[in-house]
Amino acid sequence: MDTAKIRVIFEYEFRRGTNAAETARNINAAFGEGSTNERTVRFWFKRFRDGNFDLKNEPRGRPPTQVNNDELREIVEADPSQTTQELAAWFNVTLPTILTHLRQINKIKKYEKWVPHDLTDLQKETRVETCVALLNRYRNEGILDRIVTCDEKWILYDNRKRKMQWLTPGQMPQQCPKAKLTNKKVMVTVWWSQHGVIHYSFLRSGQAITADVYCAELRTMLTKLAVKQPRLMNRSSPLLLHDNARPHTARETILTLQELQLETIRHPPYSPDLAPTDYHFFRDLDNYLRDKKFSSQEAVQNAFTQFVQSRSSEFYRKGINNLPIRWQQCIDNNGNYFD
């Protein structure tokens, strides 16, 4: 029986002069046991005797809130790293209360974001100047189809990560072996452009990227580029985009680039967010390798080859074509990291 309808009956019986006990018996007999009870009827009869015939519940009194949302917003924005415990103590309220008010002012908790480097003002200025120059050249010359970019990366044999699990209280999570401090790994070097991968190779165990190794890779890449993109080699010339790692800036490398007449694009230091291999190619590779475990270098090489072959031509175009967008984002953010 609807509560509002029962209260109408309460008023009807009250006006007829029926007492509370008889009213409760009549309602339960007509609508079933448990529809009401004598105590409830007495409560409403008392209201009626006081002249209050409003059949709606009176609003329950609540203590006034101790958290002013404007004050909370000001305190949080002055120091976003404060914990909910600290905020609750400041306002002398419970944790659920402070969490409710944080939601009301549209505040959510996020981890700090790792950045590659704590940029100085000079480094930010260099990033902006570089991006302005590159954007101007892009608009005047349309250089994206000439860019060849490269980088090196360690690939781990064991790429498994701990996973969050939804469990009932007392249930034990699945076990995952802790990663070894010196996990086995192999380094790959990759060269690519809008049209796909030009060349890649894996270093021998114990071998490091030196200027000698890098120069040899340069020559191999150009040989393959002449076969895969002869138009680029014959009608224009490739533009090399690489970062400022020591093998890339060594005297031997500079002399080799001059000998090969290979022009490099200016790249500001500490800027993986402006390097397509970092922000696009290797990021997608990490996702592809997630949770994979390899038992040999050959297995690692096969997985990398499968990754390269599984990427569409659009994947490579997108990676390079995002460069002007990122140059502009760097300028708009005054040289700060934006990704």
pLDDT at position 329, please? 96
Task: Tell me which residue range forms the domain holding 218.
Answer: 121-160+183-332
CATH number for the domain including 142? 3.30.420.10
Could you list the pLDDT tens digit for every one of the 339 residues in the chain? 678 888 888 999 999 999 999 999 998 888 888 888 998 999 999 988 988 888 887 665 555 557 889 999 998 888 888 888 888 888 889 989 999 999 999 888 776 667 788 899 999 999 999 999 999 999 999 999 999 999 999 999 988 776 666 666 776 776 666 555 457 899 999 999 999 999 999 998 777 899 999 999 999 999 999 999 998 887 778 999 999 999 999 999 999 999 999 999 999 999 999 999 999 999 999 999 998 999 999 999 999 999 999 999 999 999 999 999 999 999 999 999 987
Q: With contact defined as beta carbons under 8 Å apart, do 194 and 320 qualify? A: yes
Q: What is the phi/psi pair of residue 240, to 5°?
A: -90, 125
CATH number for the domain including 24? 1.10.10
68 lies in a domain?
A: no
Neighbouring residues of 157: CB distance < 8 A, sequence distance ≥ 6: 183, 184, 185, 186, 293, 294, 295, 300
Q: With contact defined as beta carbons under 8 Å apart, do 189 and 203 qualify? A: yes
pLDDT at position 176, please? 62
Q: How far apart are the first and last CA of the chain?
A: 60
174 lies in a domain?
A: no
60 lies in a domain?
A: no
178 lies in a domain?
A: no
Shared-domain flag, residues 254 and 316: yes
Shared-domain flag, residues 38 and 156: no
- Taking each helix axis from N to C end, the angle separating 323-332 and 121-141, rounded to the nearest 10 degrees, works out to 140
What is the rounded CA–CA span in Å between residue 242 and residue 266? 9
Q: Which two tokens stand for residue 102?
A: 């944080």
What is the rounded CA–CA span in Å between residue 76 and residue 20? 56
264 lies in a domain?
A: yes
Shared-domain flag, residues 154 and 280: yes
CA distances from 262 to 72, 170, 201, 265 (A): 58, 63, 21, 10
Q: What is the phi/psi pair of residue 154, to 5°?
A: -80, 130
What is the rounded CA–CA span in Å between residue 69 and residue 104? 8
What is the rounded CA–CA span in Å between residue 175 and residue 152? 33
pLDDT at position 165, please? 61
Shared-domain flag, residues 256 and 153: yes
What is the rounded CA–CA span in Å between residue 268 and residue 243? 8
Q: With contact defined as beta carbons under 8 Å apart, do 191 and 153 qualify? A: no
Q: Report helix, strand or coil for 320.
A: helix
What is the rounded CA–CA span in Å between residue 9 and residue 6? 5
What is the rounded CA–CA span in Å between residue 339 and residue 54? 60
